[in-house]
Amino acid sequence: MRQIRIHGRGGQGVVTAAEMLARAGFLAGHEVQAIPSFGSERTGAPVVAYCRFADAPLRTREPVLAPDVVLVQDPTLLAAGRVFAGLAPGGLVIVDTAGDEREVRAAAHAQDLDATVLTVPATAITLRLLGKPKPAAAMLAAYAASADDVTLDAVLQVVRERFPGAVGEANAAAAEEAFAFVREERAAAAEVRDA
Amino acid sequence: MREVLEGSQAVARTVARCRPGVVCAYPISPQTHIVEALSVMARTGELGACEYVNVESEFSAMSVAIGASAAGSRAYTATASQGLLYMAEAVFNAAGMGLPIVMTVANRAIGAPINIWNDHSDAMALRDSGWLQLYAADNQEAADLHVIAFAVAEELGIPAMVCMDGFVLTHATDVLELPDADAVDAFLPPYLPTQVLDVEYPITIGTMAGPESFTETKYLQHLRFLDAAEVIDGWSRRFLEAFGREAGGLVARYDRDTCERSRDASAARAGDVTVVAMGSVLGTLQAALPALHDAGVPVRLVGVSSFRPFPAAALRAALGASRDIVVIDRALELGSGGVLTGDVGRALAGTRSRIHSVVAGLGGRPILEASLQDVVRRALDGTLGALDFLDLKTGGIPVPTAGATEVHR
């Protein structure tokens, strides 16, 4: 089973991101589940949503406590704390920021966290292409670029289904750019490792 | 066709395929997505020849449903929590008048303190309103139950609540297979009301009954309710035959090893700890219990699918010779224990069962697999009391930190 937790703020499309990720996972052949956790629904308030992929039907209704993957849609949540709570050792973290891994770890006081930490300027990309700070599609594409259980094509299909017309195309363009960004980031990291 | 759907969407689409004549809607969390989705379908025409009525309160929602049903129309509404309480008077009237309205209750806590999250306090407050109460374990069953509910309610002349856990189901997205429209048409007979308000032949329904006849009226209502168990079981069997999956029924049995639902599963045995639960926590138990079973813990799972009527005989049959019963209860009878536990206890009177009431998940507190496993272990080693509050924090009422999320439990 793959468990993913998405952190963001009300208005950023956190719940939509989890639902779209579930749809993309389903297209890839997984059994899927997306669970939002709602506080009082206020714009800007921290929001968490969960997504699970598995080979067998998912029965549990427990929130994801030990995620394999944490997606953070807003870097200001890093300091507020606990976005990496329960992260599985060697897990994957993707943060929507123009900063780098070192800055993310410093902000979260997680210098020693046993995790692959990737960054992608998803909100910046989406603001440029869509004109709105809704980084969900770009973040899911960043995940597709760093995991083997969801494809970029699936993300693009889901995004276009969810947002028909120009909004969907702009989101899809943001997704493609974020995907390419993370692939380059990973290639560069691999070069450093292999050097 | 298997598809990825939010629970509320699945319910709304299934309700539309049941071809209601009138849908009355008033929004309240966590039910709102259902009536919103139905309003979209009213606009697109997917709802067919249905009158979608925006009302100004839940009291009106039920009153309009009563009027529609009394005029011979298949009537549907949905509500939750304070909304259910606000319509309470009309809820009892619908049952007393024998009107087979179907209503989704997206189960939510009741204030004060204000709480929008899930438990069963709302439906439990109206457990003796004369409505059937059918509880969904997951979103597939939540959708399927509506088809069964219309069939059962209309055969009996008793209204039915389909209870699904708020947020935990209504807002969750799962892989589902909706009953398709043609199959629902073939399964669900057209609504043929036994009494219809007709201006050509005026009658009064819901009239006054004095001391000379009120007892007899209630007695007849009681007798009709006694018929309900067989009718629910019958339509649920027919649903399984028509759609190839289990939904509804009186009691859900689960396979000893896999914890997958199976009406052919054996009864529990002497020495088993049996967990009895209702609603979405059944899914979490399905995930949590096999690990215990693999570790040699003799544990079984039984779900209560119909809370009203309460299926005492079916429950006793499923519990077999098991005498250690753990009831996971999502509503609290103050000063006593869990509400479901009370009914389980009455069903097991004289069996010398050791019944543990575990009050869990009030006001949306997540119910964790590890906590459920711990409860079963404590029941087995004799350290679980008659009443336990799952994951109760001691030392006063915790104050959430600024910006707290569910991660901060």
**What whole-number distance in Å separates Cα of residue B163 and Cα of residue B80?**
9
Asked whether the beta carbons of residue B284 and residue A62 sit closer than 8 angstroms, the reply is: yes
Q: Which CATH number covers residue A103?
A: 3.40.920.10
DSSP reduced 3-state for A160 = helix
A3 chain-B contacts, CB cut-off 8 A: none
Q: Is the ipTM of this complex over 0.90?
A: yes
User: What's the whole-number mean pLDDT along residues B328-342?
Assistant: 97
Number of inter-chain CB pairs under 8 A, A vs B: 87
pLDDT over 50 (residue A175): yes
Lowest-pLDDT choice from A18-27, A61-70, B389-398: B389-398
What is the residue range of A190's domain?
2-194
Asked whether the beta carbons of residue B167 and residue A19 sit closer than 8 angstroms, the reply is: no
Q: Residue B366 is nearest to which of A7, A33, A63, comparing CB atoms?
A: A63
pLDDT digits (tens, 9 = 90+) for A135-159: 999 999 999 999 999 999 999 999 9
A144 membership: H or E segment, kind and range: helix A136-146
More confidently predicted of A68 and A193: A68
H helices of A56-118, where? 77-80, 101-107
**What whole-number distance in Å separates Cα of residue B342 and Cα of residue B348?**
10
**What whole-number distance in Å separates Cα of residue B251 and Cα of residue B357?**
18
pLDDT over 80 (residue B406): no
Query: Domains along chain B?
Result: 2-243 (3.40.50.970), 251-389 (3.40.50.920)
pLDDT over 60 (residue B260): yes
pLDDT digits (tens, 9 = 90+) for B274-321: 999 999 999 999 999 999 999 999 999 999 999 999 999 999 999 999
Question: Are B292 and B373 within 8 A, CB to CB?
Answer: yes
A3 membership: H or E segment, kind and range: strand A2-9
Asked whether the beta carbons of residue B168 and residue A47 sit closer than 8 angstroms, the reply is: no
Number of domains into which chain A is organized: 1
pLDDT > 90 in chain B, percent:
94
* A175 interface with B at CB cutoff 8 Å: no
A139 membership: H or E segment, kind and range: helix A136-146
In chain B, the residue whose alpha carbon lies closest to the alpha carbon of A34 is B173
Asked whether the beta carbons of residue B284 and residue A37 sit closer than 8 angstroms, the reply is: no
Residue A191: predicted pLDDT = 87
pLDDT > 70 in chain B, percent:
98
Confidence of residue B404 (pLDDT cuts 50, 70, 90): low
Residue B409: predicted pLDDT = 45
pLDDT over 90 (residue B379): yes
The angle formed by the CA atoms of residues B240, B242 and B244, to the nearest 5 degrees, is: 50
pLDDT digits (tens, 9 = 90+) for B115-153: 999 999 999 999 999 999 999 999 999 999 999 999 999
* A80 interface with B at CB cutoff 8 Å: yes
Backbone angles phi, psi at B60, to 5 degrees: -70, -35
pLDDT over 70 (residue B396): yes
pLDDT over 60 (residue B403): no
Question: Are B8 and B170 within 8 A, CB to CB?
Answer: yes
- For residue A72, the number of C-alpha atoms closer than 13 Å in the C-beta half-sphere is 29
* A136 interface with B at CB cutoff 8 Å: no
Asked whether the beta carbons of residue A7 and residue B167 sit closer than 8 angstroms, the reply is: no
In chain A, the residue whose alpha carbon lies closest to the alpha carbon of B4 is A23
Residue B402: predicted pLDDT = 56
Residue B102: predicted pLDDT = 98
Query: What's chain B's average pLDDT?
Result: 95
- Print the SS3 string covering chain B: CEEEEEHHHHHHHHHHHCCCCEEEECCCCCCHHHHHHHHHHHHHCCCCCCEEEECCCHHHHHHHHHHHHHCCCCEEEEECHHHHHHCHHHHHHHHHCCCCCEEEEEECCCCCCCCCCCCCHHHHHCCCCCCEEEECCCHHHHHHHHHHHHHHHHHHCCCEEEEEECCCCCCCEEEEECCCHHHHHHHCCCCCCCCCCCCCCCCCCCCCCCCCCHHHHHHHHHHHHHHHHHHHHHHHHHHHHHHCCCCCCCEEEECCCCCCECCCCCCCCCCCEEEEECCCHHHHHHHHHHHHHHCCCCEEEEEECEEECCCHHHHHHHHCCCCEEEEEECCEECCCEEHHHHHHHHHCCCCCCEEEEEECCHHHCCCCHHHHHHHHHHHHCCCCCCEEECCCCCCCCCCCCCCCCHHHC
pLDDT over 70 (residue A81): no
**What whole-number distance in Å separates Cα of residue A5 and Cα of residue B149?**
36
Residue A42: predicted pLDDT = 75
**What whole-number distance in Å separates Cα of residue B114 and Cα of residue B91?**
23
In chain A, the residue whose alpha carbon lies closest to the alpha carbon of B259 is A59
Backbone angles phi, psi at B314, to 5 degrees: -65, -35
A32 chain-B contacts, CB cut-off 8 A: 4, 173-175
pLDDT over 60 (residue B405): no
pLDDT digits (tens, 9 = 90+) for B194-225: 889 999 999 988 889 999 999 999 999 999 99
Query: What's chain A's average pLDDT?
Result: 94
pTM (2 d.p.) = 0.96
CA distance A147 to chain B (A): 21
Residue A39: predicted pLDDT = 64
**What whole-number distance in Å separates Cα of residue B376 and Cα of residue B370?**
10
User: What is the amino acid identity at position B255?
Assistant: D
Give the dihedral sign, CA B208/B210/B214/B216.
negative
**Contact residues, A window 11-70, toward B, CB-based 8 Å cutoff:** 15, 18-19, 22-23, 26, 31-40, 45-48, 57-63, 65
Lowest-pLDDT choice from A161-175, A178-192, B61-75, B240-254: A178-192
**What whole-number distance in Å separates Cα of residue B325 and Cα of residue B60?**
42
Residue B408: predicted pLDDT = 46
Q: Which residues contact A105 (CB under 8 A, 6 or more apart)?
A: A111, A113, A117
**What whole-number distance in Å separates Cα of residue B87 and Cα of residue B25?**
12
**What whole-number distance in Å separates Cα of residue B408 and Cα of residue A113?**
19
User: What's the whole-number mean pLDDT along residues B219-235?
Assistant: 97
